[in-house]
Structure 1
Amino acid sequence: MTKSKLLLFSMLFIAVVSCKKSDTKVDTEVKTEQSKDANGFSYETVTNDPTGLRLYTLDNGLKVYLSKNTDEPKIQTYIAVRAGSNYDPKNSTGLAHYLEHMVFKGTHKIGTLDWEKEKGFIQKISDLYEKHRAEKDPKKKVEIYKEIDKISLEASNYSVANEYDNMISSLGATGTNAHTSFEETIYKNKIPANELDKWLDVESERFGTLVLRLFHTELEAVFEEFNRGQDNDGWKEYFAMLDGLFPTHPYGQQSTIGTAEHLKNPSMIDINNYFDKYYVPNNMAVVLVGDLDFDETIQKVNNTFGKFEKKELTHPTLPTEQPITAPVVKEVFGPTSERVSISYRSKGVKTEEEKLVTLCDMIMANGNAGLLDLNLNQKQAVQYAGCSPYFMNDYGFHSFNGSPKSGQSLEEVRDLILEQVEKLKKGEFEEWMIEAVVNDLKLSQTRRYENNTALATAYYNAFINRENWEDKVKFLDDLKKISKEELVAFANKFYGDNYVVVYKRKGEDKNIVKVANPGITPVNLNRDKTSEYVKAFSARKSAPLQPKFIDYKTAIKQAKTANDIEVSYVLNEKNDLFDLNIIFDMGKDNNKKLSLAVGYLEYLGTDKYSAEDIKKEFYKLGVDYYVSAQDDKTYVGLRGLKENLPKGLELLEHLWDNAKADQEAFDKYVQKIYKRRQDGKVQKGNILWSGLMNYGKYGENSRLRDIMQIDEIKAINPEDLVNLVKDLKNYKQRIFYYGKDVDAAVAALNANHKVYGEFKDYPEAKQYEETKTGGNVFFTNYDMVQTEMLFLAKGKPFDPKNLAASRLFNTYFGSGLSSIVFQEIRESKSLAYSAFAAYSNANKRDKSNYVMAYVGTQANKLEQAVDAMMDLMNNMPEAEKQFNAAKEATLKKIAAQRITKSNIFWSYERLKKLGIENDNREEMYNTIKNMTIDDLKAFFDNNIKGESYNVMVIGNKKDLDVKSLQKLGKIKEMDVDYLFNYVDKKEVKQ
């Protein structure tokens, strides 16, 4: 399944009763049934629903989705509100999203030291914002804002920042976050199962009252988020596409982040009105998936959220779009590589069009045998092409996207994609494809919905979209009923000249909005103080949850093939899927050509099958294969339906043994590598986190720079690459199998994985030495609004004794919403949307640990951000209360963690690289239990304080504050081609 399909599966739940192919079709009855639990609560279930959902509706209208999974003692929680940016007032766009931020700020009980005094200041701030909004004179607006800043500082004397985050963190929660979209606002936590009572109490309190506390500092954080969007070409393309598809509907006319003008002129009154109107129980859902008891849980939800009062609620009627009768053309500009998208507007969820578009999408692209996969990607006619649908309440769309290969225009890519759409309309796909893609969807769902988070996501999507769960369970069966003739008839009606095409071109974006630095006075955090609510909350004790540790020696079992290859295995007790890996303990460090060779295999056929036919045969079986070369490992893998393992392995071994070199495919492959490099070097994330970071660690001698140049690759005989792949079989190897019936798997290996003679030893691996850090600022110029900085210091060699302290330090100091860095940089000083620091342990025992910190901020806040971060990295604030909360959170996270399924093997593989043979979490747990803040301070002083940093910076040179960076070291501007060692800049022609 390709990445382009992830969006689809975040929207759709696809039921799996059986993934096995059968010649006999049996219709399984699916219907909704009403039942009552032991407490008398009514709930709905759906027959033959493999997820076991119980859907309750409380008396106040609140929907409660419950599903039980005891794989780990955790519960994925979502609180869903059926309202998003679609309902933002026209003069307050971005309101729903900003409200989402403010819900984290506490209530009249959480986050306040004296509510009676604080609320007076908040009212004054609200009045001033109304005055600020109405004022037209820019100078007077500045003066009003200064008054807002002054009173906000006074108000902060009575507030405690991040009390909600601290409470949730103390439960051992992970994934604490929220998001806002067109029709939804979703609040997220994954909690230990024994903390459900306390979670329900704090969340019901949080959603009972809205207090717009620390309003102007959080507004600056939203501005930084707005700036990040301006630096994201992908978002700009997306907004242009929506604007074309929906010229009157809020989908296209009101972005979730809002306009800069509206963000500059917020109304606290509007935000309170929105909360009062839409954050009501009959417009909300609580979703809980995990280790829970149905009867007890619904009683607890009713005791808390059931107290909310139902209100009359009407959703606004939104505009209806007129048909698109001719192509709508849009252009956006930015520094990243060029792309094109073609999008068709569809009807929304719960329509027949949703089913038909979903099926068309999979016929077009499924990662293996779709029309785009075979005719464009497999033949390397473009750099990449794919498609994905998206369905909302009022409308949906089907988007195709393509990237040009070297020397190819966007118009040429557009035409090639449209040619494939024409093939769909002509029915130029094979009869078996519909059944195959439905089975593919089943396989993907089976893998994804073993995960509680993915299943809970499906539930809240059903709530937001007002979908009956019965219809979701029947969705795939409905797809199977669609004939090829029906699908082709629909395609001819749906896909015409009624599309929006967006050309993402390289160039300057002239629509960038520059935001002034308002000069906010840092507010008081009062981290040493506590509200009465939190005191009572902290005094409550939950039933203890005991950690469970693994004995890897017994959890991972051993077998051998007939030719004496070691097979490590873990049994899959959940379903009939398998994952088989043939592992070679050598990689790119041992042979630079290895990654080229395994990548080339993707485009080759054999004496029996063409490259396209190979893909089709695997797709028919419901089996995927993959060959991957990493730095020190190479994997040849197979996964899919257990019953098709023998046939899948036979096909894989046939390709492995009989692949035939193809000069034309190789020439196109070289061109693809060249274009991938050109595209990669204009991605700011790649420049910072790959190019600059590697240079900061290794200098000139890094894996990143130690590459074959394009001319060198072009000179390779492709036959040599094929032989290199075939020769892999002759090297030492081991196998990991996750699935049922290991004897059958070993039998399949004996029958198909033929090796002869003694195995060869691995070639010696090349070593890359880490350089000393300190006194350097490596800067790369990039057309962007923000400036991003990464501080990196080489620490001491890896020592397992530091693992416990570093984990606790990261929780307390550097990561998460309640960490010291986040509070100081974002909450108090409003200098960034994202800021973190970490003590990063090596992934191999002979490597060094690193101290790192990151901040992304407006260029005009750079000096303040640098000073704030460097002060923290040298002077760790000692907050006893916050330390105890971090300690408790860390212990609870370890206690709730379960290493299961195939992760048992892969976690052991990671530990062995560190020289650890046991489950070291037990030692870490016991060490953290006995740690004090003095121990953490000693760790900080010995490992972090006074470190010498290389500082990696990416930003717009014309906005760069040179003086603030010179304080950190000597500035060296780094050319992108030099960072990646791309010395050959010549065009590569076919």
Structure 2
Amino acid sequence: MKLLKSLLLFCIVGLLSNCKDATKQENITPNEVKTEKHTDSAGYTYETVTNDPTGLRLYTLDNGLTVYLSKNEEEPKIQTYIAVRAGSNYDPKESTGLAHYLEHMVFKGTDEIGTQDFEKEKVLLKEISDLYEQHKAESDSEKKKEIYKKIDEVSQEASKISISNEYDKMISSLGAQGTNAHTWFEETVYKNKIPTNELDKWLMVESERFSKLVLRLFHTELEAVYEEFNRGQDNDGRKVYVAMLKGLFPTHPYGQQTTIGTSDHLKNPSMVAIHNYFNTYYVPNNMAMVLVGDIDFEETIKKVDKAFGSFQKKELTHPILPKENPITGPVINEVFGPTAESVSIAYRSDAIGTKEEKLLTLVDMLLANGKAGLIDLNLNQKQVVQNAGCSPTFLNDYGYHQFYGTPKADQTLDEVKDLLLAQIEKIKAGNFDEWMINAVINDLKLSKTKQYESNTQLATAYYNAFIHRQNWKDKVTFLDDLKKISKQELVDFANTFYKDNYVVTYKRKGEDTNIVKVQNPGITPVALNRDKQSEFLKKFSNAETLPLAPKFIDYKVAIKETKTDSGLPLSFIDNPNNDLFELKFIFDIGQDHDRKASLATGYLNYLGTDSLSSDALKKEFYKLGINYSVYAGEDKTYVGVSGLKENLDAGLSLLENLWTNAVPDQEAYTKYIDQIAKSRIDGKTSKGNILWNGLMSYGAYGDDSPLRNIYTIEELKAIDPQELVNKIKELRTYKQRIFYYGKDIDKAIASINTHHKIGKEELLNYPEKTNYVEKETGGNVYFVDYDMVQSEILFLAKGAPFDPSKMAATKLFNTYFGSGLSSIVFQEIRESKSLAYSAFSAYDTASEIGKSNYVYAYVGTQANKLSEAVNAMMELMNDMPEAEEQFNAAKEATLKKIAAERITKANIFWTYESLKKLGITQDNREEMYKTIENMTLTDLKTFFNENIKGKSYNVMVIGNKKDLDMKALAKLGNVQEMDIDYLFNYEKENIDVPL
């Protein structure tokens, strides 16, 4: 089956010809694509599409449930999606955010899941619902507070009967990964990736989950959603997005109703309205199930029908949404916030499935494909802006083409805008190479090839087709349809489409006066009842599953070794799936050996050779469908090419030409340094960069860190660019090794022998690596003042040096305690106390032998909840709750994840590379699996006591100083307010010590 799917895939990509689908009739020509109906041995009718590289079987049950099935036996897992054609567009105007909040509540269980006695519980839930209706109708703020106190009181009583997170516990016990859901304009999608042998139990849980909605633990989850709303207020990119949509869609819900909802609506919910929404849209004829992975088609559809076939079909009417009038002139928006300035330009388009989608897809790729588009070459390659690009989005009613750019230090946003518009004018004037049309289509085909190798990405394509009511045949033929579009047609379209009908959104630095700040509602922690079980969970636990045997890798067998004519060691792995390849030259020298390493590799991207300009070089690679990369990490540098195997030789020849004959360009270097300087300025405005890079690195290393070991801008300006070019060329004189993933290893070696010439002299050893000393942690609070609604806090404690014998306990501990929806930390911080939207903790294993493991914990919450959140987290980090049932579920989940894990393709080599850094040369998962099998809760408690309990933390905090309780922070250690320039060691006058 895998061979057949690979062959069919190549038919689409155009690498082979005269392929036939096993299900089509003999009179169909190889290139003909049509939808066919079949009946399997059990009598189920399904559709296929001829020449479909994905092997989709599309079923529709009698009740209208659409089922997408595709088979891939590469790993014993199934990517599952349950999609509902209903999202925020369907929210009542007076209850925005409803669809998204419903998504959260579907995880809370039913009348069977998550309750000890539903007959008693439902009485209290009805009372809570009635109170919320009173709360919504009440206009007096003091009376609303009194009603909310009553809601909180009744919720405490109800929580004594409920059982928190039973769904998550059951799904986790299957060994599921990626358990989550999302809501958008037209969709709500529920996600899990499960081991193949757990399909029956997964269907058992999901059929119950979607059978009935029970809104338990409502007010604590509502507060978590509000924290999610606050995260959005702190996200300037999201604010630009919302402003852009408001301009594009002044009447349609795309622009008038955000998925998260308004603050007022979130604080005044209606449980009645949520129930009505569920009952209206969560019906089988409005839902799809997607299963992609190691399945048996006929057995699987029978199981799906048994689990979901009894759901009752209902007549439903989708809302009729308003039509937009044409945009007749530029619409101008401004958004303010602390992050770097940028500009967005957006044009409204027709919907998905229209001719305009095809035309815009091509135009977009001609403008920006990451390699040789007009924006890529004229703006990014020439470094006339800091960064620029574009991308299209297509929805059920409309779409849009968005352009974005960030300015250089000496640029205005209007100058960036004009440069972007100038690239559109080039399309309108036909100033682009005609060969680019075929090149971008081939690029899209390559992307599809890679997408169809991934079960998750393929399953995503299926559910998107369902949500957007697309015939899969149209998806299969989409690229062929693009081939029919001429250059003149694109030019004519561009002149009609791109006029002064755009929405421009300026993201400016400054205070956002539209921020909504609220008081802590004072939620009393609810009971979790970890030691309780519903009857459903007991039945679920007793259901038998055939065990799945783990498979481990003998790396010495899986990775084959040979040498080139020059004696270079070459590791290779065959690609059994398609004709794509990856070739890397690996040098065990990086930024820690030479501070100029990443500077030099980055500079090479802007250079050409003595015979090819940098633009011409990019175009030549793009014609071949070949990507090249030169990258320096901390301890390694990689030089490589990837793409179509048939063009490996030509691609490697181009790379070697650049490597050998690169010519320095002073103007390009000056712009390159200006770009680095601007990126430092912009990076200082990103709270994520400040916390997870600046503060975290300082918490681990202090002043002497790899992050701070940088050149000043003045030092960078003084470097001769010829020195950097020489450094790249001299790489070839160092010891090196090669990795190849693909077919025809002999041809690959022949190409390497031809183009990668190494001198006869002995290759050089690497310079000594800089050793950065990890400092002892404890007693320090490093704080950065930042204009934001939430506050974020990170605890970091240095642990013992890496010890492979701890890896099994680490994996089990993290599952049980700190990560995932059913973990102790998530349940206590979010589910019980509603103190944060995001909270997690981990024992983090070092990436290299000789380095230390670390303990860390994170909470992101409103400033007025921070003290409570810190206390709650510290209690957990010093006294691990012991829950036997939860431990058993975590243990079972961890073992099943290992059993279902398959390391394949090029990942075999790269995983082995990571293990070698830890001093491990065998597949250590086998030892870990056996160790976890024999572990008890007592063992885990011992691990906690020895490695986590009582640790001394450095505490990193980012938040708005005027909102934070600094005295509370002082209880955690010596508070040092950090200057951001000092954190990153950026030059700043008179800065010698932290401020």
Q: TM-score, normalised by structure 2?
A: 0.97
CA distance in 1, matches of 2:447, 2:697: 35
Deviation at 1:398, TM superposition (A): 0.3
Q: Do the aligned residues in 2 keep the contact of 1:16 with 1:442 (CA within 8 Å)?
A: no
Partner of 1:435: 438
1:230 aligned residue (230, 233, 244): 233
Amino acid at match of 1:17: C
CA distance in 1, matches of 2:889, 2:522: 32
Q: Do the aligned residues in 2 keep the contact of 1:691 with 1:979 (CA within 8 Å)?
A: yes
1:407 aligned residue (374, 397, 410): 410
Q: Do the aligned residues in 2 keep the contact of 1:15 with 1:442 (CA within 8 Å)?
A: no
What whole-Å deviation, never above 9, does each CA across 1:423-445 have from its counterpart, x for those lacking one? 00001000101100000001111
Partner of 1:298: 301
Q: Do the aligned residues in 2 keep the contact of 1:247 with 1:321 (CA within 8 Å)?
A: yes
1:704 aligned residue (700, 704, 707): 707
What whole-Å deviation, never above 9, does each CA across 1:144-167 have from its counterpart, x for those lacking one? 000000000000010000000000
Partner of 2:888: 884
Kindly indicate whether residue 665 of structure 2 is the aligned counterpart of residue 662 of structure 1.
yes
Q: Do the aligned residues in 2 keep the contact of 1:341 with 1:501 (CA within 8 Å)?
A: yes
CA distance in 2, matches of 1:665, 1:970: 46
CA distance in 1, matches of 2:675, 2:866: 38
Q: Do the aligned residues in 1 keep the contact of 2:825 with 2:840 (CA within 8 Å)?
A: yes
Partner of 1:462: 465
Kindly indicate whether residue 946 of structure 2 is the aligned counterpart of residue 952 of structure 1.
no
CA distance in 2, matches of 1:678, 1:306: 58
Q: Do the aligned residues in 1 keep the contact of 2:163 with 2:530 (CA within 8 Å)?
A: yes
1:867 aligned residue (864, 868, 871): 871
CA distance in 2, matches of 1:353, 1:773: 58
Local SS of the residue matching 2:730: helix
Kindly indicate whether residue 386 of structure 2 is the aligned counterpart of residue 392 of structure 1.
no
> Mean Cα displacement is larger for which, 27-36 or 607-616?
27-36
Q: Do the aligned residues in 2 keep the contact of 1:592 with 1:707 (CA within 8 Å)?
A: yes
1:49 aligned residue (38, 47, 52): 52
Q: Do the aligned residues in 2 keep the contact of 1:793 with 1:947 (CA within 8 Å)?
A: yes
Kindly indicate whether residue 825 of structure 2 is the aligned counterpart of residue 831 of structure 1.
no
2:931 aligned residue (895, 920, 927): 927
Alignment of 1:452-491 (within 5 A): 452-491=455-494
1:611 aligned residue (600, 609, 614): 614
CA distance in 1, matches of 2:317, 2:895: 45
Local SS of the residue matching 1:945: coil
Deviation at 1:717, TM superposition (A): 0.6
What whole-Å deviation, never above 9, does each CA across 1:238-259 have from its counterpart, x for those lacking one? 0000000000000000000000
CA distance in 1, matches of 2:410, 2:356: 37
Local SS of the residue matching 2:951: coil
1:339 aligned residue (335, 342, 349): 342
Alignment of 1:409-424 (within 5 A): 409-424=412-427
Consecutive unaligned residues of structure 1, counting only runs of 5 or more, are 1-13
Local SS of the residue matching 1:603: coil
Local SS of the residue matching 2:639: strand
Kindly indicate whether residue 72 of structure 2 is the aligned counterpart of residue 78 of structure 1.
no
1:781 aligned residue (771, 776, 785): 785
What whole-Å deviation, never above 9, does each CA across 1:730-752 have from its counterpart, x for those lacking one? 00000000000110000000000
CA distance in 2, matches of 1:788, 1:372: 37
What whole-Å deviation, never above 9, does each CA across 1:624-670 have from its counterpart, x for those lacking one? 00000000000001000000000000000000000000010010001
Kindly indicate whether residue 16 of structure 2 is the aligned counterpart of residue 19 of structure 1.
no
Kindly indicate whether residue 913 of structure 2 is the aligned counterpart of residue 909 of structure 1.
yes
2:325 aligned residue (305, 322, 326): 322
Amino acid at match of 2:307: T
What whole-Å deviation, never above 9, does each CA across 1:38-70 have from its counterpart, x for those lacking one? 100000000000100000000000000000000
CA distance in 2, matches of 1:913, 1:445: 34
Kindly indicate whether residue 517 of structure 2 is the aligned counterpart of residue 514 of structure 1.
yes
Kindly indicate whether residue 799 of structure 2 is the aligned counterpart of residue 799 of structure 1.
no
1:536 aligned residue (536, 539, 545): 539
What whole-Å deviation, never above 9, does each CA across 1:790-809 have from its counterpart, x for those lacking one? 00000001000000001000
2:901 aligned residue (897, 900, 907): 897
Kindly indicate whether residue 526 of structure 2 is the aligned counterpart of residue 557 of structure 1.
no
Partner of 1:6: none
Partner of 1:964: 968
CA distance in 1, matches of 2:16, 2:812: 53
CA distance in 2, matches of 1:730, 1:356: 48
Q: Do the aligned residues in 2 keep the contact of 1:77 with 1:286 (CA within 8 Å)?
A: yes
CA distance in 2, matches of 1:342, 1:362: 17
Amino acid at match of 1:109: E
Q: Do the aligned residues in 2 keep the contact of 1:776 with 1:971 (CA within 8 Å)?
A: yes
Local SS of the residue matching 2:95: coil
1:215 aligned residue (210, 215, 218): 218
What whole-Å deviation, never above 9, does each CA across 1:294-332 have from its counterpart, x for those lacking one? 000000000011110000011010000000010000000
CA distance in 2, matches of 1:332, 1:722: 42
CA distance in 2, matches of 1:604, 1:316: 55
Local SS of the residue matching 1:178: strand
Kindly indicate whether residue 841 of structure 2 is the aligned counterpart of residue 841 of structure 1.
no
Deviation at 1:20, TM superposition (A): 4.6
Partner of 1:855: 859
Partner of 1:674: 677
Deviation at 1:509, TM superposition (A): 0.4
2:766 aligned residue (749, 754, 762): 762
Kindly indicate whether residue 197 of structure 2 is the aligned counterpart of residue 194 of structure 1.
yes
Q: Do the aligned residues in 1 keep the contact of 2:784 with 2:979 (CA within 8 Å)?
A: yes
Deviation at 1:963, TM superposition (A): 2.3
Deviation at 1:446, TM superposition (A): 1.0
Deviation at 1:448, TM superposition (A): 2.2
Q: Do the aligned residues in 1 keep the contact of 2:18 with 2:30 (CA within 8 Å)?
A: no
Local SS of the residue matching 1:17: helix
Deviation at 1:19, TM superposition (A): 3.2
Deviation at 1:849, TM superposition (A): 0.3
Local SS of the residue matching 1:397: strand
Instruction: Give me the identity figure in percent.
Output: 70
CA distance in 2, matches of 1:233, 1:927: 46
Alignment of 1:39-438 (within 5 A): 39-438=42-441
Local SS of the residue matching 1:105: coil
1:724 aligned residue (721, 724, 727): 727
Partner of 2:980: 976
Partner of 1:579: 582
Partner of 1:569: 572
Deviation at 1:691, TM superposition (A): 0.1
Structure 1: 4+ residue segments shifted above 2 A = 14-27
1:813 aligned residue (804, 810, 817): 817
Local SS of the residue matching 1:864: helix
Amino acid at match of 1:236: K
Local SS of the residue matching 1:449: helix
Kindly indicate whether residue 507 of structure 2 is the aligned counterpart of residue 504 of structure 1.
yes
CA distance in 2, matches of 1:900, 1:87: 42
What whole-Å deviation, never above 9, does each CA across 1:820-873 have from its counterpart, x for those lacking one? 000000000000000001000100010000000000000000111010000000
Q: Do the aligned residues in 2 keep the contact of 1:711 with 1:984 (CA within 8 Å)?
A: no
CA distance in 1, matches of 2:281, 2:377: 47
Amino acid at match of 1:504: K
Local SS of the residue matching 2:344: strand
Q: TM-score, normalised by structure 1?
A: 0.98
Deviation at 1:966, TM superposition (A): 1.4
CA distance in 2, matches of 1:253, 1:661: 51
Consecutive unaligned residues of structure 2, counting only runs of 5 or more, are 1-7, 20-28, 991-995
Pairwise CA RMSD: 1.2
CA distance in 1, matches of 2:989, 2:885: 57
Deviation at 1:406, TM superposition (A): 1.0
CA distance in 2, matches of 1:759, 1:818: 53
CA distance in 1, matches of 2:945, 2:600: 48
